[in-house]
Amino acid sequence: MSGQQAVEAAIATRRGEINDALDEGLPLQEPEELYEASRYLLEAGGKRLRPTILLLVAESLADIEPEDADYSSFPTADDDPIDVMEAATSVEIIQSFTLIHDDIMDDDDVRRGVPAVHREYGLSTAILAGDTLYSKAFEKMLETGARSERSVQALSELATTCTRICEGQSLDISFERRGAVTPDEYLEMVELKTAVLYAASAAIPAMLLGYEEAVDPLYGYGLDIGRAFQIQDDLLDLTTPTEKLGKQRGSDLVENKQTLITVHARRSGVDVDNLVAADSVEDVTEAEIDEAVERLEEAGSIQFAREQAEDLVQSGKDNLQTLPDNDARDLLEGIADFLIERTY
Amino acid sequence: MSGQQAVEAAIATRRGEINDALDEGLPLQEPEELYEASRYLLEAGGKRLRPTILLLVAESLADIEPEDADYSSFPTADDDPIDVMEAATSVEIIQSFTLIHDDIMDDDDVRRGVPAVHREYGLSTAILAGDTLYSKAFEKMLETGARSERSVQALSELATTCTRICEGQSLDISFERRGAVTPDEYLEMVELKTAVLYAASAAIPAMLLGYEEAVDPLYGYGLDIGRAFQIQDDLLDLTTPTEKLGKQRGSDLVENKQTLITVHARRSGVDVDNLVAADSVEDVTEAEIDEAVERLEEAGSIQFAREQAEDLVQSGKDNLQTLPDNDARDLLEGIADFLIERTY
């Protein structure tokens, strides 16, 4: 197996276990419509990258052979076992809550190939489904059986993370109304909106398992690769064919969304607002997008974003040196690479 | 001072301190629009009943003279002081988050005499403001300095409470689409949507301060008076003059909202859906409301709701016998009475 194949296999294996835990941990109880709506997006799919990172960090810290891990009874630094899968489902549930509310705010119709929750169930139920997942995530994080002081630390991290995600989403919305945004402002927004949940996913297992000294470097790993992930998302919007992307290529340009690429281009003198004449993704042509991408390449903006993402991945991998040298750490390095090598 | 005056004075005193703590605990930081929107409803007013109950329970448990309480350094059962005001702000912040999201779902334009948050700041910022308050409430509950195992217990209660509030709101929405609802179903909805936050407000100080044996009866007190509070709200909608109510009297009838009164009336053979012919609060006349109220009185429905509220208040007061006999307990009894004697 190549490194990339090993990483994809590791993600797939854990995804299966995470999906089972989500299915069991969020039963279809009364009121049924509320729980159906809360489960809907989770059932529609997703790579489960954040909980997978959480599990792999736990495996590496405990120096367990990846195939031997029993997540529901997982050894801590002082042996007293905990249910680390509860923490993994918690971060995925937070991710799902933010997607449901974001889709309302961005008025997006489709997510993971299915109608967005507010399209399927209406605005009220979608807001409530997000709110329900929010508190469920806190409930799950409290159900690991970890020592109280460690649970408090993890809970505190989770709460701060949620506040920051809201701040990041607020900045993202405000950027749409603004012209010039600096690369630093853009990266701060990405840090808040996207990267802190990766950071929490990597740091929380160290908190719960009692590896205090690893918390900061692992947080750094998550922050780095989370930012790289978002930059890669921005690149994919321009470079991946529409049919593979699952949405119109170049839609960020059509919708005048700020990305690291357009932020760089604007500062290099490119008239970003008029790169694409079409006002809607329905009207834009592939030729128009090709031409826009060419101009962004000439301005060095695509190269700039690629380099930023690569630097972040390297920095993230450096942070992993806090972990013991084992298969799980190799897989976490591989996930960092995967995030910027992926084409979907 | 009469009993009622003493209660209102006790609420007013604590409200002042709670408002200061809220103002300080939710500073107007970046992104400013987000925090402005998050603070907006809290600044617009509110009785602060839930945090007042939380503080009074703490005072009674610690057997402190109400005037002597230093909430930021409050003695626990084993003396180690904690900041119980953080817990008080937490429950008020949860209340504020639910109001912001509820107003979106119910498409209500006005709250506490000012435009609803989504009217003032738009849908996206209102959703985000609610989400921000949600995590802030968890952050606050973690900042009391209580022992970790007590913080975990309080956090767990808060998370479960939020899940239940969502379930209650979901039931409430579904009732609007249904005809017959039984009194038990209605009371279950009220328990989830409204009463559990009163229950948590009363029980959490016992958890944080280390009075484990008082947790269950205090929870019962909150559950009882929370249900009584909602029934009284339903009664006030019919019996308080429009100008005093701050909204059209009888608006629940016009909007076909289920209340304990209409649920009882329907079971007594009253054609509840046609009690008021007007389709909107703008079109309804006071005479029409008077006639509807008269019919509800004839059916015994208003009396039924009054008795239910009175029984709940009595049961709530019985639950308070777990507390030491002191001024703070008297005030908590007074608040129970106040909830169903109030005319606004």
Give me A132's structure tokens: 């329900």
Residue A1's pLDDT band, with cuts at 50, 70 and 90, is low
Q: List, for residues A66-119, the tens digit of each pLDDT value.
A: 888 999 999 999 989 999 999 999 999 999 999 999 999 988 888 888 999 999
Contact in structure between B273 and B256 (CB atoms under 8 Å): yes
Say which range, A236-250, B46-60, B96-110, has the weakest mean pLDDT: A236-250
Residue B1's pLDDT band, with cuts at 50, 70 and 90, is low
Torsions phi, psi of A210, nearest 5? Answer: 90, 30
Name the helix (H) or strand (E) containing B110: strand B110-111
pLDDT at A256 over 90: no
* DSSP classification of residue A82: B
Size of interface A-B (CB pairs under 8 A): 130
* AA identity, residue B309: A
Say which range, A210-219, A245-254, B228-237, has the weakest mean pLDDT: A245-254
The sign one gets for the Cα dihedral B99, B104, B110, B113 is positive
Strand-pair partners of A114: A111
Q: Which residues of B touch A151 (CB under 8 A)?
A: 148, 152
Tell me what ipTM this predicted complex has.
0.95
Average pLDDT score over residue span A312-339 = 97
Domain-by-domain residue ranges, chain B? 3-341
Residue the block writes with tokens 């809201």: A166
Q: Which pLDDT score is estimated for B342? A: 83
Largest CA distance in chain A: 62
Cβ–Cβ gap A167/B34 under 8 Å: yes
Cross-chain CB nearest to A127 (options B34, B104, B152): B104
Fold of A3-341: Farnesyl Diphosphate Synthase (1.10.600)
Torsions phi, psi of A132, nearest 5? Answer: -65, -45
Cross-chain CB nearest to B135 (options A101, A163, A174): A163
Cβ–Cβ gap A128/B156 under 8 Å: no
pLDDT at A2 over 80: no
Q: Which pLDDT score is estimated for A133? A: 98
* AA identity, residue B1: M
Average pLDDT score over residue span A281-300 = 93
Q: Which pLDDT score is estimated for A178? A: 83
Cβ–Cβ gap A166/B30 under 8 Å: no
Chosen for mutation from B93, B102, B104, B152 (greatest number of chain A CBs closer than 10 Å) is B152
Q: Cβ atoms within 10 A of the Cβ of B187, count?
A: 18
Q: List, for residues A40-70, the tens digit of each pLDDT value.
A: 999 999 999 999 999 999 999 999 988 889 9
Average pLDDT, chain A: 95
SS3 B172: helix
Q: Provide residues of B within 8 Å CB-CB of chain A.
A: 30-31, 33-34, 101, 104-105, 123-125, 127-128, 130-132, 134-136, 138-139, 142, 147-149, 151-152, 155-156, 158-163, 166-167, 169-171, 173-174
* AA identity, residue A225: I
Which ranges constitute the DSSP H helices of A44-113? 49-62, 84-105
CA distance B292 to B222: 32
Name the helix (H) or strand (E) containing B111: strand B110-111
* AA identity, residue A150: R
> Quick one: which of A293, A307, A298 has its CA closest to A340?
A307
Contact in structure between A96 and A133 (CB atoms under 8 Å): yes
Full-model pTM: 0.96
User: Hey, which bits of chain A come out as E strands?
Assistant: 110-111, 114-115
Average pLDDT, chain B: 95
CA distance B70 to B74: 6
Residue the block writes with tokens 């987000």: B34
Q: Cβ atoms within 10 A of the Cβ of B310, count?
A: 14
* DSSP classification of residue B82: B
Residue A247's pLDDT band, with cuts at 50, 70 and 90, is confident
Q: Percentage of residues in chain A with pLDDT exceeding 70?
A: 99
Residue the block writes with tokens 């897989």: A331
Q: List, for residues B234-272, the tens digit of each pLDDT value.
A: 999 999 988 887 778 998 899 888 899 999 999 999 999
* AA identity, residue B73: S
The Cα of A128 is separated from the nearest Cα of chain B by a number of Å equal to 6
Q: Provide residues of A within 8 Å CB-CB of chain B.
A: 30-31, 33-34, 101, 104-105, 123-125, 127-128, 130-132, 134-136, 138-139, 142, 147-149, 151-152, 155-156, 158-163, 166-167, 169-171, 173-174
Average pLDDT score over residue span B7-13 = 95
CA distance A29 to A309: 43
Cβ–Cβ gap B101/A31 under 8 Å: no
